[in-house]
Amino acid sequence: MKLNFKKPGTAVCALLPLLVSTELAAQDLGLDPELEHSDGAIEELIVTSTLHRSRADTALPVNILSGEELREKVAATLGETLQDQVGVTVASFGAGVGSPVIRGQGGNRVQVLQGGIGNIDASAISADHANSLEPALAERIEVIRGPATLLYGNGAIGGVVNVIDNRIPRSMPPAITGIVETRNNSVSDQQVSVGRLEGGAGNIAWHLDGVYRESNDVEIPGFAINSRSIDVTDGEELEELFEGRGRIANSNTRASVQTAGASWIFDEGYIGFSLNRLENEYGIPGHDHGHEGEHEEEHDEEHEGEEDHDEYGEQDGVRIVMEQDRADIEMELPLGGWFEELHGRMSTVDYQHAEVEPSGEIGTLFEQDGTEGRFVLHLGGTDRREGVLGVHFSHRDFSAIGEEAFIPSTDIDSLALFTLHSIDSGDFTYEFGLRGERQSLSQNRGACESENTSFSGSSSAIWHFSEQSNLLFSIAHSQRSASVEELFSNIDTACGELPSDMLIEHAATQRLEVGMPDAEVEKSTNFEFGYLKHMGEVTAELNLYYNDISDYIFLADTGVFRDEVEISRYQQRDALFYGMEAQANFPLRRSGDHLTELTLFGDYVRAEFDSQGNVPRIPPLSVGFELRHSHVNWQTKLRWTEIQHQSDTAFNESRTDGYRLLNYYADYHLPFDSSEVLFFVKANNLLDEEIRHHVSLLKDLAPAPGRSLEVGLRLEF
């Protein structure tokens, strides 16, 4: 199977017929959806929308991972867990880092939430910084594609990922329940253990969970370094190429997470708290921070004849050692009069990570302490009208100390007010909302600061033209204030650029990055048309979007070098993102308790500057299918994805070859007394393809893993 769609119109034409043909294919099959493994027809409420709406009743383009599907997709990083969702790509940076990219936008344009509250870490500051959350403990992950700034801040101009767990119980469990799981992956000998225990007594519900993960270096087909990126006549580069054959050096990881929470459950509502501790250590492939040789020489001179008592000891390469302590308080209380309910959550986070040099010394220490809260009042309404008023605030203290401290210590504060309303009228549902946010950033040592106000608004209409299908149209205008790295990278306390000989290299990008302290607010106007068939034997979704972004902030290479390191500056230019997503699922055959289904999917995004040139690191066209056969106690899946090559590249950006990805999954449920045992097996990249993600800054140094086999066992009681 070989596809070659070179234009978006071709891709749309190829995928649109799926939405028609699937309807015809399912007619007269007489299928019963009550199989254990089937998705069923129950419409779940979208937690991230805040309004009490199901997927069928909102204009939000949303992916929902929950239940068995989530357990099947769970991986070591959030991006890996979500990479099979339409419109979502993973920006890998070795095995320890995998951030989600939505519709070609990632980093500080995708808001990652933990239970509706921002993930207060350093993941948006640099591509080599991992998200400080654990997908294996999630009960549900919701991905809102496109602007969703009205509820969750100006950092959501590209989309929202909300990881929802039960660390703060919302209801009283009928009995003590739990999960124990273990799995092993052959490609890195990764061993994962997961445990969860929940129960209650009187009015108190409690929750305990934990994860331990450890892996060795990742095995790959061929070479870690892309042979096209080196000079084969250079002996040193050629030697380095062959040294990385068959595995990615310094890609081993180790992580542990523990959580405890409890709630007081009322007749209506609850109030609870949780404490969470995360420790994560992982290597950065091909990442020596540019200081390795110099740093080791200085270390040897200073400590000659002394025993090395450094905390971390000698390492094979640069490693990140991350620690985070998080405390959450959440409440849901019934009210009377104008307001029927108050829902609020507040989190306090103490985060730090150390970038440890090969000598074992800490090269750079990043710290961020913060508090964030969000409180929402649900207006008293009717069955056909619903609305909310909310306040969202945060305070963060960011600091970086050491050799790679290219961003000065900064205090970051924000305060926002928002409102969102939904009205049903006949066969139509209308949604509209507004948000205003004030953000201020000030350096701790100096007078350099930034303060601005951003406004966002959206409106949408949904036509329920049948009980099973909707058409929707939405317009959203979103504004995003520049982030700390975009403003203050290599900027001194007087808001001036550091002298050329004092610029500090950002080793993750291998550039000398210079911020833009006078950056304007980034403005996005997004038009979206969608079709959703949400019920029946056939389900389907199509989304077309057109996103015009003014004053788009990006890092531009200058072509000027200092000591062989390129100087890059944050700039602003108008940009245009447009694309489509399509997915359709329909049954092929039913015989007794056996059901065979087919899912077809695809997504495409194009991004270019209005003046000239392409936006960097945009994912290519992706299409594929999944064939699924299920029984009452077992299921099996075969998934094929065709990723096209990406030649629409930005200045100084190399093209990326396409690849074919073939994955397999199977599981078997075995009832055991009052419990259930699940055996499962996953085989990824069965063709052992060389896979390089175009959205990854490390694509030419660390490809995706080769062929792998993962086996696991889960006990639920």
Give the DSSP H or E segment for 572.
strand 565-591
pLDDT for the residue 359:
83
pLDDT exceeds cutoff 90 at 336: no
pLDDT for the residue 228:
85
pLDDT exceeds cutoff 50 at 157: yes
No. of helices (H) and no. of strands (E), the chain: 7, 32
pLDDT exceeds cutoff 80 at 175: yes
Q: Which of 280-294, 402-416, 633-647, 688-702 shows the lowest mean pLDDT across its residues?
A: 280-294
- CA gap 139, 165 in Å, rounded: 5
- The predicted model gives 586-600 an average pLDDT of 94
> Is 95 within 8 Å of 706 (Cβ atoms)?
no
Instruction: Classify 484 as helix, strand or coil.
Output: helix
pLDDT exceeds cutoff 50 at 302: no
Three-state SS annotation for 242-254: HHCEEEECCCCEE
Q: In which band, very low, low, confident or very high, does the pLDDT at 547 lie, cut at 50, 70 and 90?
A: very high
pLDDT exceeds cutoff 80 at 232: no
pLDDT, tens digit, 9 for 90 and up, residues 4-50: 444 444 444 444 444 444 444 444 444 444 444 544 445 567 877 77
Phi-psi region of 375 (alpha: psi -120 to 50; beta: other; left: phi over 0): beta
Cα 497 → chain centroid: 32
Reported pTM:
0.87
Q: For 87, phi and psi rounded to 5 degrees? A: 80, 0
pLDDT exceeds cutoff 70 at 315: no
Strands (E) in 253-338, as ranges, are 253-265, 270-283, 319-334
pLDDT, tens digit, 9 for 90 and up, residues 626-674: 999 999 999 999 999 999 999 999 887 889 999 999 999 999 999 888 8
pLDDT, tens digit, 9 for 90 and up, residues 674-712: 889 999 999 999 999 999 999 988 888 889 999 999 999
Angle CA(228)–CA(579)–CA(80) in degrees, nearest 5?
60
Where does residue 434 rank: exposed (0-12), middle (13-18), buried (19+ CB within 10 A)?
middle
Instruction: Classify 404 as helix, strand or coil.
Output: coil
Residue 398 or residue 234, greater confidence:
398
Fold of 8-716: Maltoporin; Chain A (2.40.170)
> Is 679 within 8 Å of 153 (Cβ atoms)?
no
- Distances in whole angstroms, Cα of residue 237 to Cα of each of 225, 228, 244, 293, 655: 10, 12, 11, 17, 20
pLDDT exceeds cutoff 80 at 131: yes
- The predicted model gives 309-315 an average pLDDT of 49
Q: For the residues of 104-143, what is the DSSP string, one character each?
A: TB-GGGEEEEETTEE--SSTTT-TTPPPS--GGG-SEEEE
What helix, strand, coil percent values describe the chain, rounded to 5?
A: 10, 55, 35
- CA gap 608, 552 in Å, rounded: 11
**Percentage of residues of the chain with pLDDT beyond 70:** 90
For 213, residues 6+ apart whose C-beta sits below 8 A from its C-beta are 76, 136, 190, 191, 192, 193, 253, 254, 255, 256
Listed ranges 1-15, 261-275, 476-490; the one with the highest mean pLDDT: 261-275
Closest among 450, 451, 421 to 435, alpha carbons compared:
421
Q: For 88, phi and psi rounded to 5 degrees? A: -120, 135
- CA gap 285, 318 in Å, rounded: 8
Q: What spatial distance separates the first Cα and last Cα of the chain, rounded to whole Å? A: 44
**Percentage of residues of the chain with pLDDT beyond 90:** 59
pLDDT exceeds cutoff 80 at 304: no
pLDDT for the residue 36:
46
Q: In which band, very low, low, confident or very high, does the pLDDT at 292 lie, cut at 50, 70 and 90?
A: very low
- Per the prediction, the chain carries an average pLDDT of 86
- The predicted model gives 49-58 an average pLDDT of 75
Phi-psi region of 673 (alpha: psi -120 to 50; beta: other; left: phi over 0): left
- CA gap 148, 155 in Å, rounded: 9
Q: In which band, very low, low, confident or very high, does the pLDDT at 156 lie, cut at 50, 70 and 90?
A: confident
Q: In which band, very low, low, confident or very high, does the pLDDT at 133 lie, cut at 50, 70 and 90?
A: confident
> Is 577 within 8 Å of 105 (Cβ atoms)?
yes
Residue 380 or residue 344, greater confidence:
344
- CA gap 45, 509 in Å, rounded: 40
- The predicted model gives 555-569 an average pLDDT of 86
C-alpha dihedral sign at 373, 273, 81, 540: negative
pLDDT exceeds cutoff 50 at 256: yes
pLDDT, tens digit, 9 for 90 and up, residues 89-108: 998 887 888 889 999 998 88
For 618, residues 6+ apart whose C-beta sits below 8 A from its C-beta are 104, 605, 606, 607, 646, 648, 694, 695
Structure tokens at 80: 């890996």
Count of Cβ atoms closer than 10 Å to residue 498 Cβ = 15
- The predicted model gives 49-61 an average pLDDT of 76
Instruction: Classify 336 as helix, strand or coil.
Output: coil
Q: Which of 302-306, 483-487, 670-674 shows the lowest mean pLDDT across its residues?
A: 302-306
Q: In which band, very low, low, confident or very high, does the pLDDT at 479 lie, cut at 50, 70 and 90?
A: very high
- The predicted model gives 132-154 an average pLDDT of 85
pLDDT exceeds cutoff 50 at 117: yes
Q: What are the residue boundaries of the structural domains of the chain, listed by start?
A: 8-716
